[in-house]
Amino acid sequence: MKHLLSAADLSRDETLSILDTARQMHEIQQRDVKKLPALRGRTVVNLFFEDSTRTRSSFEIAGKWLSADVINVSAKGSSVSKGESLRDTVLTVGAMGVDGMIIRHHASGAPLQVSQWVDASVINAGDGMHEHPTQALLDAYTMRERLGDLAGKHVAIVGDLTHSRVVRSNLMLLRTLGAQVTLVAPPTLMPSGITTWAGSDGFAVTYDLDATLPQVDALMMLRVQRERMSGGFFPTPREYTVGFGLTRDRLRTLPDHAVICHPGPMNRGLEIAADAADEGRSVILDQVSAGVAVRMSVLYHLLAGGES
Amino acid sequence: MGDNVIDTPNVLLIRGADVLGEGRTDLLLQEGRIVDSGSLGAPPDAEVIDADGLVALPGLVDLHTHLREPGREDAETIRTGSSAAAAGGFTAVLAMANTSPVTDTAEAAERVWDLGQASGLVDVQPIGAVTKGLAGEELAELGLMARSRASVRVFSDDGKCVHDARLMRRALEYVKAFDGVVSQHAQEPRLADGQACCHEGELSGRLGLPGWPGVAEEVIVARDVMLARHTGSRVHIAHVSTAGSVEVIRWAKAQGIAVTAEVTPHHLLLTTDLLTGYDPTFKVNPPLRPEEDVEALREALADGTIDAVATDHAPHARHDKEHAFAEAAFGMLGLEQALSVVSTVMVEPGRMTWSQVAQVMSSRPAEIAGLDGHGIALAKDSPATLTLIDPTATYVVNREHSQSLSRNNPWHGRELTGRVQATFLRGRQTFTQGKVLA
Ligand SMILES: [Zn+2]
């Protein structure tokens, strides 16, 4: 495996191997001395065309704990406006002799395009409305730690599915791991063609959160931006919460063993009630702490070369 | 007449071409006209061109070409675009108005016209903008462009839709005075905004690309045919891309509404699944559509619902395409392979005859554009403006072999059947054996 561009790139064995290694990395994180020598002499660049402090720091720490040299390049602001093409930008960075390029871009597909232009291993750290494979890996990691093997488990993903890169990666990864997936959103926030897509990929789609909740093992609430109102995606935040929010009333219908995930940042009171985020079934902070371990594992799998 | 023969020694005998409706015919070209046809002997001073096995069509006319001059001469110039046109068998192209500055005045139109004349390879007929600066707010000086040396007859804000219904109505009414036609880029901007870059459907959902739904085209087509009916004017729909638009146009024609339509070679052959790899070469506006739409377009071209093939030749410098897909420029090259694509997708499978090709790529576009001297059947006394095609030649397209300054060629690596062998503009050979003749 040279690149990680899409969750679809990962076989079941590769996914399990990444998750198992992540568990070892997670254990090392609990120690006083956190550094491993695995990527000594390797250079990794964080090339972010869009701000994301959380993801960038997570990759940066992961690289450093594996002893890689980590460079942060902020290419924020459209390269178009600077008159430089994406290809020119990445060729310039690539010419510095990097082994891994971690790319965050506001446009879908950019990391895939970059992988065709440079020699380095490319990791997709989130591209437009497309994918965010390491987020899906850390979600799977977190759920697996609580629920065990995800095969046969039922995961519902609720919220703005159209604009979410998290949902696409999660759909593919969860299916690879054998989980059953249900997508819940108002029709306006469903990706186009979702019904044919669901048919061919074997997941369910519903507008009815109440009917779904009692059956799930894991509930993933996605952020819903209030700005979507101006696009006519839903009439008011109040109406959204009544239809699709994880309210206190709804919490009671969620099975006791089920876990609640949220990739953050949260709109408390809109898609998730304040106490839902903080209760025992919530694994939202676990997700954050798993992020570093999972990214260490990904970097290790892609860049450690013959040592693995 | 004898004196003129000495002044113009270019007497050409095209021997044995398959002339539509005539069978195997010799054509004698002199002083820009076909002076004789039939079974002819070569006059002593004539240059003889062996056209055995070749089909002769009236020179092709492209209703929709982007030449980029003035403003983006690094992507194409009127000269290089004319070369690409000649190589593609064209003898006239209509140059879209979205240059920089925009062709929205008589002076700007005359400048394009003059540069075309200077290149001398094809007739470059400027299209005038419908609105000033393509801003969609005020009418451009349509009448002055019509009265100019360039005699503009086609008006278009192509690249942008004239989306204000009242303005569109006024434009349609106004151009009646000089038998003009408005060529509409049908894209309702509230349903498909400037970010929209992928056919809206399952694939756009999977790829996370902003969707451009077919209905954004169809609602404008529907509105504009009703406006054409109301005003009694001619409206032309540029680059029709969906089955729904075809249905509306078919209905409108049955009602006797004066609507004409064009389809591009790429919408006749390429489908949206080419976007899977996010290759900006395949980013075009309107976007590539699914197979069902493509099939409807082929059918509509064959049955005459769609009047013409037009290339939407849109050259772009490499650095304008080497961006993330959503940020790369819209458009692909089209002039050089247009005939081959139509041959491959329509003639080879038996869906159209060469005589129908002559209609959709020459006579109908010339008629729609009100262009004199083009699209005229090849016979004694007609202009010696024609193209010779080898209907059986098969070749693999190499984007590096191009007359265009740009390389955004969607046909690269594809095998096509049917190839332009030579082009003649008013008796002068502009292209032969792979070379443009300056
Ligand atoms: Zn257009």
- Provide, rounded to the nearest whole percent, the portion of chain B with pLDDT above 90: 95
Residues in A 89-108 with any Cβ partner in B closer than 8 A? 105-108
Average pLDDT over residues B412-424: 98
Does the complex come out with an ipTM higher than 0.90? yes
Which pLDDT value is given to residue A289?
87
| Confidence label for A79 from pLDDT (cuts 50, 70 and 90) | low
Judging contacts by C-beta atoms under 8 Å, the chain A residues touching residue B212 are none
Q: Are B187 and B220 contacting, i.e. CB atoms less than 8 angstroms apart? A: yes
Which pLDDT value is given to residue B1?
35
Q: Does B278 contact A108 at a Cβ distance shorter than 8 Å? A: yes
How far does residue B330's CA lie from ligand 1's centre (Å)? 10
Nearest-by-Cβ selection for B208 from A80, A168, A194: A168
Which pLDDT value is given to residue B4?
37
How far does residue B285's CA lie from ligand 1's centre (Å)? 6
| Cα–Cα distance, B79 to B88 (Å, whole number) | 14
* Burial of B22 per CB tally in 10 Å (0-12, 13-18, 19+): middle
Smallest CA–CA distance from A172 into chain B, residue: B206
A9 in contact with B at a CB cutoff of 8 Å? no
Tell me which of B3-7, B11-15, B273-277, B298-302 is least confident: B3-7
CA distances in angstroms from A212 to A133, A195, A270, B290, listed in the order given:
25, 17, 19, 34
Q: Does A131 contact B208 at a Cβ distance shorter than 8 Å? A: yes
| Confidence label for A274 from pLDDT (cuts 50, 70 and 90) | confident
Which pLDDT value is given to residue B243?
98
CA distances in angstroms from A301 to A7, A34, A304, A307, B115, listed in the order given:
15, 18, 6, 10, 60
Mean pLDDT of the residues in chain A: 92
Task: Residue B256: count other Cβ atoms within 10 Å of its Cβ.
Answer: 8
Residue in B28, B76, B424, B420 with CA at minimum distance from that of residue B437: B424
At residue B7, does pLDDT exceed 70?
no
Which pLDDT value is given to residue B336?
98
| Confidence label for A77 from pLDDT (cuts 50, 70 and 90) | low
Q: Does B207 contact A109 at a Cβ distance shorter than 8 Å? A: yes
φ, ψ (nearest 5 deg) of residue A12: -60, -45
At residue B6, does pLDDT exceed 70?
no
| Confidence label for A32 from pLDDT (cuts 50, 70 and 90) | confident
Residue A4's DSSP bridge partners are A123
Which pLDDT value is given to residue B176?
97
Which pLDDT value is given to residue A307?
42
Q: Does B324 contact A86 at a Cβ distance shorter than 8 Å? A: yes
Structure tokens at A43: 């250079």
How far does residue B115's CA lie from ligand 1's centre (Å)? 23
How far does residue A229's CA lie from ligand 1's centre (Å)? 31
Q: Does B278 contact A196 at a Cβ distance shorter than 8 Å? A: no
Which pLDDT value is given to residue A23?
96
Smallest CA–CA distance from B323 into chain A, residue: A86
* Burial of B345 per CB tally in 10 Å (0-12, 13-18, 19+): buried
Q: What is the DSSP letter of B288?
A: P
| Cα–Cα distance, B86 to B91 (Å, whole number) | 6
How many CA within 13 A on the CB side of residue B301? 34
pLDDT digits (tens, 9 = 90+) for A133-184: 999 999 999 999 999 999 999 999 999 999 999 999 999 999 999 999 999 9
How far does residue B362's CA lie from ligand 1's centre (Å)? 20
| Confidence label for B119 from pLDDT (cuts 50, 70 and 90) | very high
At residue B8, does pLDDT exceed 60?
no
Counting DSSP H helices and E strands in chain A, the numbers are: 12, 9
At residue B52, does pLDDT exceed 90?
yes
- State the catalytic residues of B: 312
| Confidence label for B231 from pLDDT (cuts 50, 70 and 90) | very high
* Terminal Cα distance for chain B, rounded: 27
Distance from CA of A280 to the nearest CA of B (A): 34
Smallest CA–CA distance from A168 into chain B, residue: B206
Distance from CA of B257 to the nearest CA of A (A): 34
| Confidence label for B26 from pLDDT (cuts 50, 70 and 90) | very high
| Cα–Cα distance, A62 to A164 (Å, whole number) | 24
Query: How many inter-chain contacts (A to B, CB under 8 Å) are there?
Result: 88
Q: Are B390 and B418 contacting, i.e. CB atoms less than 8 angstroms apart? A: yes
Judging contacts by C-beta atoms under 8 Å, the chain B residues touching residue A162 are 205
Q: Are B392 and B66 contacting, i.e. CB atoms less than 8 angstroms apart? A: no
Which pLDDT value is given to residue A264?
83
| Cα–Cα distance, A114 to A87 (Å, whole number) | 7
Structure tokens at B195: 């970010």
Strand order in the sheet with B308-309: B154-155, B181-184, B235-237, B259-263, B308-309
At residue B189, does pLDDT exceed 50?
yes
Single pTM value for the model: 0.94
Which pLDDT value is given to residue B320?
94
- Is A211 in a helix, a strand, or coil? helix
Pairing verdict, β A259-261 and A218-221: parallel
Higher model confidence: residue A231 or residue A299?
Answer: A299
Mean pLDDT of the residues in chain B: 96
| Confidence label for B3 from pLDDT (cuts 50, 70 and 90) | very low
pLDDT digits (tens, 9 = 90+) for A190-218: 999 998 999 889 999 999 999 999 999 99
Which pLDDT value is given to residue B331?
98
Which pLDDT value is given to residue B252?
98
DSSP line for B218-250: HHHHHHHHHHHHHHT--EEE-S---HHHHHHHH
Alpha helix segments (H runs only) across chain A: 12-29, 53-65, 86-94, 110-115, 133-147, 165-176, 194-201, 209-212, 237-244, 248-251, 274-278, 284-303
Q: State the residue for tokens 């969750």.
A: A7
Nearest-by-Cβ selection for B324 from A110, A129, A196: A110
Which pLDDT value is given to residue B2?
36
Judging contacts by C-beta atoms under 8 Å, the chain B residues touching residue A106 are 324
